[in-house]
Amino acid sequence: MNVALEFGIEGIGVWSPELADWASAQNILCGNVECAADAAARPPAAILPPGERRRAPESVLIALEAAQQACTMAQREPRDLPHVFGSAYGDLAINDYLCATLARAPREVSPTKFHNCVHNAPAGYWAIATGCHENSSAVSAGDATFGAGLLEVALLAHRESRAALLCVYDVPAVGPLRDVIACRSAFAAALVLAPWSPRAVARAKLRVGDGATTLAPVPALLHASHAGNPAAASLPLLDALARREPAALRIAIAPSLNLHLEISF
């Protein structure tokens, strides 16, 4: 059980209404700046052509924003990177629309909303926007989606000694779905992983299984805003990366299984 995967973290992206990008996230996570409650409603998602940006669902916008930030920081061409997009719930506003329309007037289902409802819609829009023909995946592991996605992308990078992109995102539950899904916020985070090289901003060593942890406290307002958002399980890692302090983190990948992740600089 002690097989370790080692890699470098080359790029980081993040978007939530309070966190416009990695620079602002670093300031807030390091306590330099208060976390403001009034914030952007939509990310720029500049990688999408304007027409698609207007029509794209929220999940696609926030995921592509974080993914693009991470690739820019890593100075990697997005089209060269196999990618994994992870989300516990997919686009809940589209699910609400589909289920409500099916209950009311099923023949009125919009074809565009239907093809946007697939869990791999952000991965598909990303591949189209970047011209990427590499392996493109979309995964879910409920509350453990960040950890399970991190393992999946670390294995991709490890297996073929190449850089790969992870993006996790979730958006708020809408309508009656609020009764069964606790997610109340929008949050996306992305990482570019690659075999270790000096261009990496941090070194990571990952094992499946438990180990000692040094969980840093995430700012309370940020933590509270995203408590029900599975993508925000990335916050402790983002916090360690922002502080540039060595850390050992325990990240769930399944109900009774964790990743042990050591970060060094």
Direct distance between the N- and C-terminal alpha carbons of the chain, in angstroms, rounded to an integer? 25
For position 205 contacting another protein by CB under 8 A, the verdict is: no
Query: Strands 164-170 and 83-86: what pairing?
Result: parallel
Stretch that binds another protein, among 63-71, 159-167, 196-204, 237-245 (CB under 8 A): 159-167
Candidates 26, 59, 68, 130; binder of another protein (CB under 8 A) is 130
- Determine, following the binding rule CB under 8 A, whether residue 136 of this chain makes contact with another protein: yes
Run of H or E including 193: strand 187-194
Site for another protein in 79-98 (CB under 8 A): 79, 82, 87-90, 95, 98
Q: Which stretch binds another protein (CB under 8 A): 8-16, 42-50, 145-153, 197-205?
A: 145-153
Spatial separation of the C-alpha atoms in residues 253 and 227, rounded to whole Å:
17
> Reduced to 3 states, what is the DSSP secondary structure of residue 254?
strand
Contacting range for another protein; rule: CB under 8 A; set: 8-16, 19-27, 32-40, 99-107? 99-107
Binding string to another protein for residues 216 to 255, with x set by CB under 8 A, is what? -------------------------------------xxx
Cβ atoms of residues 208 and 1 within 8 Å: yes
Q: Which of 212, 233, 200, 189 is nearest to 74 (CA)?
A: 200
Task: Compare residues 114 and 265 and give the one whose CB is closer to another protein.
Answer: 114
CB 166 within 8 A of CB 87: no
Cβ–Cβ < 8 Å for 113, 121: no
d(CA 126, CA 235): 23
* Residue ranges in contact with another protein by CB under 8 A: 1, 3, 5, 79, 82, 87-90, 95, 98-100, 102-103, 106-107, 109-111, 114-121, 123-125, 127-128, 130-142, 144-145, 148, 151-152, 155-156, 158-161, 176-177, 179-182, 208, 253-257
